Structure 1
């Protein structure tokens, strides 16, 4: 399948979603005033803002992308007067649970109908081992969560599956524990939380795949500019990469080495992607990404690569549909418990469009190059990354792909559709 769209020009993408979430949380725990520029002003990150405001933090929107946050100190949070609404944000509820578990009060946190289906046992279980009291639906597995905070003890926790959200939750809880907390990952995941805490004066140490945080009395204020989100840039990188003749520059993207797995895989498929103007901003590596369209070949993505591209698998499936051969992705069972079951969602949608593909228990395969034959609306399942991936697929193939519930895109990338239309007009 040869793409019919030629993409040329340059663009910027919104601030990194993962970093924006974490910056708001830790700044609210700091002693003093923090300033966060480049903040992703989207539904998910605003859920985190709402949570920290409910806990007493004063957060001022200087502009849609700049926040001034008056931190309350680690022990200055107050009991929320109402149920905390995390909306669609798994990051808000999972990482936030680590903070709430350490507070000397009761809190209840819930979310929308999609979030209330997402399993929370992976964060509840280790927090309970630290001494937290957390109750949820379905045998303490699903939200809403009722958290009775209190004294926590340090633990060494070996994670069965790499998850930056679970790791971050435990590290933030560890700031309050009576002894150090060590989290051992089977494969290293994104390290934004560790970078921020270290920059704010917390005692953070790493030994191989183990990261330890020491109990802390005070965090210094945070001053940083959030880099552009590589997960958001990936949609446009793939669009340009699969359409020969295209040339696109995406400015100011975060290239944290634990987030760039998608770039490595695309390059292995034959994509021409260069990093230029590399620099460090707020402790995070940043670069401009320049991509030229090319003919791609299939890839095999193994379990060791998945943590570095877990959020990009849906758009990688789009690249696979244009690549020659069978692309296989294994060791990605984490995708079953994202905003949707992303394995099932992508296979259902690609199959309905006539693209050969199939599921494994822990992954999927896609055969290309394939024709795209729209046969009715594709169900996004309320998942922003599924919806955006399908939009990119249609644009690259030069056909109209109808997608349900595209409003969910605003949870991570407001302005995505106008940006796409501007590039492909």
Structure 2
């Protein structure tokens, strides 16, 4: 049996940096994710006057308190990080200064109106560029609101909660489907007046207090290793100290429902649950996946599609519309990856149908569409393919996991 230590969680690190920046006092973020996306968040916060020192073992954030951010000298650059853009938009909406948040590459093509619209309802003076970034914020007084999102998005939810810290009155959110709750957990950890029950979240504005934050391993970065191990006969892998947030473990639950031999041990609590996952090579069967199950594995759907192609029977994944608004049109990119691997799938407006088992032929180049999740899925496909697969632009994994290919080769060589 092999063991694997995944890199620290990117989503938690983003949120920890931002919340620590507006907490009173110094916060130590233990074991932060260091990648292009999180470094973009740190750079933006530094431009807002926050002192941040980052090393592999720790990020030290000297919080300014809720009202201590400084007007930036120029536009804040989120790079290609959608999380950075959306969360900063919520953070800056209620400041007493104007600011601009921009980005680069595919981020400038992704819709920003889904975060701008609810913030405008709170009183934010916000302007977009054709529905996309750059985002221009005049800075304004906000009021709390009751929000019922039409599209499940943890990033939009987080932006509203950040704005709610600065609003007059309480803010409540009622979700249609449960999404990852990293922001809610960290807000509570830092002393915010927040409560959650089922799909309902309630936040009263107020200050945050600095407190150490430990970052577990990233379940999304571990997902390619989990999927590959599941599909290799006779293989056994333990993934150590990985985050087990219920809003992130959808792939684990679905693979188990398909017949995968997966167990969890060493459960640890904290603001975030974590533990060890052991997976063995398994014979899978096709299943139907409901729309409400998708938000908990939206980043892992290309990997699930590969697993479905190797499973016996038909798998139907419903509720896939959100894939079109990721770093690439991830549905189109997944279908292109299938084609390059010699696999077949059928997609309509909101579902993906895959019949298996299919042979992964390989022998062609796989386009990543500059999307780190597609590159990682391509690595799994290449591992299982009958013929070699060349992965185009593999460096796109630097967005979230710079050492991905090194670690993948080490485990599966």
Distance in 1, Cα, partners of 2:391 & 2:347: 21
Structure 2 unpaired stretches of 5+: none
Does the CA-based 8 Å contact 1:356-1:368 persist in structure 2? no
Per-residue Cα deviation, 1:216-258 (whole angstroms, up to 9, x for no partner): 1x21103021000111111101100011100001100111122
Per-residue Cα deviation, 1:93-140 (whole angstroms, up to 9, x for no partner): 0111000111111111111121000001110000011111111111xx
Q: What corresponds to 1:354 in structure 2?
A: 342
Q: What corresponds to 1:344 in structure 2?
A: 332
Distance in 1, Cα, partners of 2:136 & 2:162: 18
Give the TM-score, by structure 1 length: 0.95
Give the TM-score, by structure 2 length: 0.98
Compared CA separation, residues 65 and 400, structure 1 to 2 (3 A): farther
Q: What corresponds to 2:225 in structure 1?
A: 236
Distance in 1, Cα, partners of 2:92 & 2:273: 31
Q: What corresponds to 1:323 in structure 2?
A: 311
Distance in 2, Cα, partners of 1:9 & 1:88: 34
Distance in 2, Cα, partners of 1:274 & 1:312: 19
Q: What corresponds to 2:67 in structure 1?
A: 75
Per-residue Cα deviation, 1:317-364 (whole angstroms, up to 9, x for no partner): 111121112211111211110111111110122023221102121131
SS in 1 for 2:364: coil
Does the CA-based 8 Å contact 2:174-2:199 persist in structure 1? yes
Per-residue Cα deviation, 1:353-377 (whole angstroms, up to 9, x for no partner): 2211021211312222212233532
- Using CA pairs under 8 Å that are at least 6 residues apart, name the structure with larger relative contact order, 1 or 2: 1
Q: What corresponds to 1:222 in structure 2?
A: 211
Shift of 1:65: 3.7
Q: What corresponds to 1:274 in structure 2?
A: 263
Please state if 1:203 is matched with 2:203: no
1:180 is aligned, of 151, 160, 170, to 170
Compared CA separation, residues 117 and 213, structure 1 to 2 (3 A): same
Compared CA separation, residues 398 and 59, structure 1 to 2 (3 A): farther
Per-residue Cα deviation, 1:184-229 (whole angstroms, up to 9, x for no partner): 110111111111111111110224312111011x211030210001
Does the CA-based 8 Å contact 2:360-2:384 persist in structure 1? no
SS in 2 for 1:172: helix
SS in 1 for 2:105: coil
Q: What corresponds to 1:16 in structure 2?
A: 9
2:43 is aligned, of 50, 75, 87, to 50
Q: What corresponds to 1:136 in structure 2?
A: 128
Does the CA-based 8 Å contact 2:259-2:282 persist in structure 1? yes
Shift of 1:398: 5.1
Compared CA separation, residues 359 and 120, structure 1 to 2 (3 A): same
Q: What corresponds to 1:158 in structure 2?
A: 148
Please state if 1:192 is matched with 2:182: yes
Distance in 2, Cα, partners of 1:323 & 1:288: 25
1:310 is aligned, of 298, 306, 315, to 298
Report the number of matched residues: 413
